[in-house]
Amino acid sequence: MAILLGIDTGGTYTDAALFDDNAPAGHNGVIGAAKALTTKFDLAVGIRNAINAVLPAGGSARPACRRLRYPVTLRCATPRTN
């Protein structure tokens, strides 16, 4: 099974999802999904928490991921000065 890991860092939550790349037609291929709080002081903390939440427990049972997708929807609001 080819596993894909998708991560989306948003303003409040960081989402992680595992997909089966060989899922049959008509099946979305999602085999796991999880959320963790986005840690704006260090995005890696929230990403690590989301990945740990979506992967199966136990190091030997964790699948090898073939591809990672990482879109970021978090944006910084900068006050405008005149």
List, as one string, the DSSP characters of 7-74.
Answer: EEE-SSEEEEEEEETTPPTT---EEEEEEEE--TT-HHHHHHHHHHHHSPSSGGGPPPEEEEE--B--
Is this prediction's pTM over 0.85?
no
Which of 70 and 38 is assigned the larger pLDDT? 38
| Assigned architecture for domain 3-22+29-69 | 2-Layer Sandwich (3.30)
The structure tokens listed for 14 are 């960081």
Q: What percentage of residues in the chain have a pLDDT greater than 90?
A: 21
Residues 6+ apart with CB under 8 A from 54: 5, 16, 17, 18, 32, 33, 34
